[in-house]
Structure 1
Amino acid sequence: MPITLTVPEGVFNADTEAKVFAELTDTLLDIEGLQDNAFMVPNVVGTLNVLPRNRIFSGGAAAEAAFVELKLPAVALASPDAKRRFIESATQIVARASSGRIVPERVWVNVVYAADGAWGIGGRGYDNAALGGAIQAAAPAR
């Protein structure tokens, strides 16, 4: 379940970057109750895009802002409450890690869903039922 975080350069140091990703990952897994799931834990992946300060915009002008995009199959964060909890948590994680450089009002979180059958892991395509089955069948992560 890829997480893409985009921030301007200088907002995080290398240690903070890793910590932010760990916290975003843990938040998703906690909300779904899958913190120990051997299938899910290694499949929450992501990228950090650090752009030059003049390459992030709000209202058409360069801005101190952050964008979190989470791509999921429809079986994840399925309830409105789960989505709300992820959005609130992700916003706070990024704002806190920026040490005040990015305020919560400048953090945008987008949850995007893949079409049923369009989820691929390790070269295998999963529909929602097969993905749910793989998650349910997985032993706790070690």
Structure 2
Amino acid sequence: MPFQIILTEGLVTKSRALLLHAEIVELFMSIHGISNNPFMLPNVIGEVVFIDHGQTFSGKEVRDIAVIELKVPSFTFGTQDLKNQFIERATESVLAAAEGKLTKQQVWINAVYTVDGFWGIAGKAYTNAELGHAIQSSAHA
């Protein structure tokens, strides 16, 4: 599951961005009840991208921003409550990492659902059902 965090340069240090990524991964895993799942953990990948100050925008104005984008299967975040929890807690994590340099209005979070059958992991294309089975099976192994 690719996670991308996009930040305006200078909002957080690179070392703090690494911690933020780890926090977001743990939040995702924990609210889905799969923390330390042997199948999932190595397959939650990501990156932190820093965009030069003055090159990030909100509307037509230059603004510092933070964006978290997840690419996940359609069965992820199965309830509105899970979506709410993730967005609220991820926003809090970003704000804490930015140490007062951002407001909630400068944080955007979204999930993109991938096409069923197009999860490529270690050279194998997984359907949503196969992916769910792999996650569940490794939890009981």
Relative to the length of structure 1, the TM-score reads 0.94
Structure 2 unmatched ranges of 5 or more: none
Separation in 1, partners of 2:73, 2:28: 13
Question: 1:97 aligns to what?
Answer: 97
CA offset at residue 80 of structure 1?
1.4
Separation in 1, partners of 2:123, 2:134: 15
Q: Would you identify which runs of 4 or more consecutive aligned residues in structure 1 move more than 6 Å? A: none
| 1:35 corresponds to 2:48 | no
CA offset at residue 81 of structure 1?
1.2
CA offset at residue 76 of structure 1?
1.6
Relative to the length of structure 2, the TM-score reads 0.95
CA offset at residue 2 of structure 1?
0.9
Aligned-pair identity (%): 38
RMSD over equivalenced CA pairs, Å = 1.4
Structure 1 unmatched ranges of 5 or more: none
CA offset at residue 139 of structure 1?
4.3
Question: 2:62 aligns to what?
Answer: 62
Q: Deviations over 1:11-36 (max 9, x none)?
A: 11122011100100000000100002
Separation in 2, partners of 1:107, 1:130: 34
Letter in 1 for 2:81: D
Question: 1:132 aligns to what?
Answer: 132
